[in-house]
């Protein structure tokens, strides 16, 4: 790490000092992800200059690692010829990634600089729904026929391998392009030259349909530890592959989405610092309004028990700590269940198991918290009526049990109703638990204090 | 997917009907991840029986996909000879994974059934700190020398490749075993037989130190899209590699940990359904107590302004919706910043940028919510004093701005102080925001209502 930040500083210095030839020579040997990072660190007016300094293939490779804004700026600034060079060198999935986010004029600029075949492919890709397996795949894979020998196959890999995203997993198709087998390069390497592909390949191939969600692809990669996954169309024809490096991005995206939903945010693909303030506000205001309106329920409940508060106004002081503790207890449970369902460790059929566990956990935590609260109150606030302390403690214990139960059930119930479990987490659960906590509180108070 | 659940049902049926030979034949051709899933679905008394039905290598492969409980049950039940067979076939990192969680008697059973060399290796691995790159790596990699030719190298891969976790990325070491280069199999395949490894390899190898955190490994995989990452010791000697399939697990683990912390849970590696109730309660009670105690701050503030409540008891009805909205607004901000920092999109030096953005977002959301609340109150609760409505609305606007600011700053401040940003999220932030909301509320009330 030390090393890389020093390198970055050195490049910056060369850039300032105008040592462009030296820089060019070094960059063309460098990892494209590092070049992209360097480029993004440069002031906007130097980015284009540096990009043009790079060799064609290096430029194309670095381009695919750049963030969308920089990509768009570059494509907008370079000539048609330069666009053609980059698109020629890039893997199709990276081009499509760029086009999915780019404004129309840049999409046109790219499309008019690609050959007809690539253009058709790109158009087909752009029609796949966002977050589908089809939108994630690449078409640069090695395909073999059953009748080939291992020797033939190796020849094909040697001849075409440079342009393929991976050569380490080869797929076998029949004359109708249907997927019939998979053959890891490792097996090919260890095989006799004359063995047929049919005899070497694995026939039971796990594949995914173009229209399936990328989450399903991530699940398959997790379960089987694949390096690549074939994508098939409705007729089981092989149309592309998904590679594991793209799945890392999918997993990051999906978790960010879950976290955002759990924090009452509309999910967004954009990086925080690059999202305009109005967009950020838009993503947040929806849930804030919904929750404020539903939070009115608490006000209604409190107003309904106004007479109790009129009589014992000190009770009001304990409302936040009771709703707060209930909210925390509920969120703890729902967060565990939501994450457990995302990782397929908890399934809807486990609902009663979950309820049983949560009630038990709630009882343990509830009794401890109630005792702690009672002790704290009698020790540090001896002036408070002991019946008020008792009311708060009893309520706290009961709220924790109920909150745990609701927190455990809500996400599963959501899943069963085909709603999103993550949405049922943090925000919604606190609203429900707040209302329940207040109802318990006032009932216990009526019983113990009045 | 249909297909797989049908297969699973068929196997279950064969198991019940005693068609063991048929089952054995089918399973030995099957993907080990599927066998593991089938085995875990079986009742405990059938698991051992089925496991013994499998061919040696299939059994070992399936074993590495099993969850810890099933692994422990099997190792406890099988003979020493069977243990030896499994350990011989398994990759070292999978064995170490099992041993890290296993009870002492099973660790001994495994260690006494391995040869001296493996035992020494395992012991070294078990000494690496949990979650370090060293604890994650495997030693089954292909290493080459600079003086070899491409032909020699291919020969070595053909001879030893079967026992290596990956043959697709080969590492070049000098006579002192120091890492000097990396050579993808793809390059080797396309090279002349007589070219030397030195001329083909990439010299600038990105590697990780054994003691570095697995999060750093995940960061490198994310940035460079690697399939494998070499692990070196203090003298830059190559001691192992980390493969991308293990990184998917790391990413899942790290995000689960962040989510747990954000939901006020002590992080735990165990699956929810397999964690005993007492352990679940222990992981939750700590934060519940801390937050309840710190929540007392709200009670103190409310008691301090008791006179205001005595006079206008209706104000109490709005406490939950104000603290709730503040908490939601703050959590939205902190969740975005925490996730942004985890994905390296937000850095501590961006702190002022974040503050500026959050205050602006807060102003937009705050004004909208205040207006919405005021409209709602005057329309639906016309009986309430308009000055109370105004108090609540003004407070709400102010609370949202402050909560956004705090939510944006707290995680960054935590990071700067080398504390965990995720802990500063959900739970702690609501406590702080609750107190601030109440102070604002009572001050505005004093000004507008009294």
The whole-number pLDDT of residue A1 equals 46
A17 vs A449: CA distance, rounded Å: 80
A403 vs A368: CA distance, rounded Å: 15
Closest Cα of chain A to B195: distance in Å? 16
The whole-number pLDDT of residue B263 equals 84
Length in residues, chain A: 450
Angstrom distances, CA of residue B449 to CA of B389, B394, B442: 10, 12, 10
Please check whether residue A297 is in contact with residue A289, taking contact to mean a CB–CB distance below 8 angstroms. Answer: no
The whole-number pLDDT of residue A385 equals 86
Q: What does the angle CA A294 – CA B438 – CA A422 come to, to the nearest 5 degrees?
A: 35
The whole-number pLDDT of residue B1 equals 46
Tens of each residue's pLDDT in chain A, 450 residues = 457 888 889 999 998 898 898 899 888 888 889 999 999 989 888 899 999 989 888 898 899 899 888 999 999 999 988 888 888 888 888 888 888 888 888 888 888 888 888 888 888 888 888 889 988 888 888 999 999 999 999 998 888 877 777 888 999 999 999 999 999 998 998 899 999 999 999 998 999 999 999 989 999 998 888 889 999 998 999 999 999 888 988 998 888 888 888 888 888 878 888 889 999 999 899 888 988 888 888 889 998 998 898 888 889 889 989 998 999 999 899 989 998 988 888 999 999 999 999 999 999 999 999 999 999 988 888 877 889 999 999 999 999 999 999 999 999 998 888 888 887 666 788 888 999 999 999 999 999 987
Report helix, strand and coil shares of chain A as percent, to nearest 5.
Answer: 70, 10, 20
Q: What is the pTM of this model?
A: 0.78
| Cβ neighbours, 10 Å, residue B281 | 21
Average pLDDT, integer, range B71-99: 88
Q: What does the angle CA A431 – CA A215 – CA B346 come to, to the nearest 5 degrees?
A: 65
Closest Cα of chain A to B318: distance in Å? 6
Length in residues, chain B: 450
Q: Which residues of B touch A430 (CB under 8 A)?
A: 324, 327-328
Average pLDDT, integer, range B47-65: 90
The whole-number pLDDT of residue A425 equals 64
**Residue A251 buriedness (CB in 10 A; 0-12 / 13-18 / 19+):** buried
Among residues B392, B244, B265, B264, which one has the least CA distance to residue B316?
A: B392
A 381-410: CB under 8 A from B: 396, 400
In what order do the strands lie in the sheet containing B179-184? B141-145, B166-173, B179-184
Average pLDDT, integer, range B445-449: 90
> Which backbone phi and psi does B144 adopt, to 5 degrees?
-120, 170
Angstrom distances, CA of residue A298 to CA of A303, A319, A325, A443, B329: 9, 10, 15, 15, 18
Residue in B263, B320, B332 closest to A434 by CB: B320
A313 vs A139: CA distance, rounded Å: 70
Closest Cα of chain A to B199: distance in Å? 14
Percent of chain B whose predicted confidence (pLDDT) is above 90: 37
Mean pLDDT of chain A: 89
Token reading at A145: 């026929």
Among residues B332, B336, B337, which one has the least CA distance to residue B366?
A: B332
The whole-number pLDDT of residue B426 equals 61
A216 vs A222: CA distance, rounded Å: 10
Q: Give the helix ranges, DSSP H, for B31-79.
A: 32-41, 44-53, 56-65, 68-77
Please check whether residue A42 is in contact with residue A72, taking contact to mean a CB–CB distance below 8 angstroms. Answer: no
Residue B425 has pLDDT above 80, yes or no: no
B423 touches chain A (CB under 8 A): no
A214 vs B174: CA distance, rounded Å: 43
Mean pLDDT of chain B: 89
CA atoms within 13 A on the CB side of B320: 32
Contact A299 B281 (CB under 8 A): no
Contact A318 B336 (CB under 8 A): no
The dihedral of CA A108, A114, A116, A119: what is its sign?
A: negative
Report helix, strand and coil shares of chain B as percent, to nearest 5.
Answer: 70, 10, 20
Q: What is the pLDDT of residues B238-254, one digit of tens each?
A: 999 999 888 988 998 88
**Would you list the DSSP string of B6-37?**
HHHHHHHHHHHHT-HHHHHHHHTTS-HHHHHH
Please check whether residue B433 is in contact with residue B332, taking contact to mean a CB–CB distance below 8 angstroms. Answer: no
Residue B2 has pLDDT above 60, yes or no: no
DSSP-derived 3-state class of residue B68: helix
B 142-181: CB under 8 A from A: 154, 157-158, 161-162, 167-168
Q: Which residues of A touch B371 (CB under 8 A)?
A: none
For helices B32-41 and B2-17, give the axis angle rounded to 10 degrees: 60
Residue in A309, A313, A426 closest to B331 by CB: A426
Contact B292 A190 (CB under 8 A): no
Buried-state track A252-274, b at ≥16 Cβ within 10 A, e below 16: bbbbbbbbbbbbbbeebebbbee
Buried-state track B143-173, b at ≥16 Cβ within 10 A, e below 16: bbbbebbbebbbebbeeebeebbbbbbbbbb
Please check whether residue B433 is in contact with residue B406, taking contact to mean a CB–CB distance below 8 angstroms. Answer: yes
């Amino acid at each position: 790490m030390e090393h890389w930040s020093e390198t970055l500083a050195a490049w910056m210095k060369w850039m300032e000092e105008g040592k462009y030839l030296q820089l060019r020579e070094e960059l063309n040997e460098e990892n494209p992800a590092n070049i992209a990072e360097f480029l993004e660190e440069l002031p906007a007016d130097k980015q284009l200059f540096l990009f043009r300094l790079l060799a064609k293939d290096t430029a194309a490779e670095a381009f695919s690692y750049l963030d969308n804004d920089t990509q768009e700026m570059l494509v907008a600034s370079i000539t048609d010829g330069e666009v053609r060079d980059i698109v020629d060198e890039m893997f199709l999935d990276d081009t499509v990634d760029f086009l999915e986010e780019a404004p129309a004029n840049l999409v046109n600029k790219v499309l008019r600089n690609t050959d007809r075949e690539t253009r058709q492919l790109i158009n087909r890709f752009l029609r796949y729904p966002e977050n589908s397996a089809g939108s994630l795949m690449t078409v640069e894979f090695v395909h073999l026929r059953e009748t080939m020998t291992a020797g033939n196959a190796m020849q094909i890999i040697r001849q075409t391998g440079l342009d393929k995203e991976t050569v380490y997993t080869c797929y076998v198709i029949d004359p109708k392009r249907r997927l019939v087998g998979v053959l890891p390069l490792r097996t090919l390497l260890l095989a006799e030259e004359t063995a047929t592909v049919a005899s070497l390949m694995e026939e039971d191939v796990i594949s995914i349909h173009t229209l399936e969600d990328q989450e399903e692809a991530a699940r398959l990669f997790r379960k089987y530890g694949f390096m690549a996954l074939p994508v098939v169309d409705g007729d089981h024809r092989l149309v592309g592959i998904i590679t594991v490096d793209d799945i890392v991005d999918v997993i990051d995206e999906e978790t960010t989405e879950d976290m955002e939903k759990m924090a009452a945010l509309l999910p967004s693909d954009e990086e925080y610092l690059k999202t305009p303030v109005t967009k950020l506000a838009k993503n947040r205001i929806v849930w804030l309004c919904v929750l404020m309106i539903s939070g009115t329920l608490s006000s209604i409940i409190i107003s309904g028990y106004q007479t109790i508060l009129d009589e014992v106004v000190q009770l009001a002081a304990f409302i936040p700590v009771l709703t707060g503790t209930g909210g925390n207890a509920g969120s703890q449970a729902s967060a565990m269940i939501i994450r457990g369902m995302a990782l397929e460790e908890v399934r809807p059929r486990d609902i009663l198991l979950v309820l049983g566990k949560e009630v038990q956990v709630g009882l343990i935590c509830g009794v401890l918290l109630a005792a702690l609260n009672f002790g704290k109150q009698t020790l540090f606030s001896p002036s408070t009526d002991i019946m008020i302390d008792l009311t708060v403690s009893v309520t706290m214990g009961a709220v924790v049990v109920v909150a745990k139960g609701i927190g455990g059930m809500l996400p599963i119930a959501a899943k069963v109703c085909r709603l999103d479990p993550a949405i049922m987490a943090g925000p919604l659960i606190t609203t429900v638990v707040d209302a329940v906590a207040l109802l318990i509180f006032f009932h216990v108070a009526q019983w113990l204090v009045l």
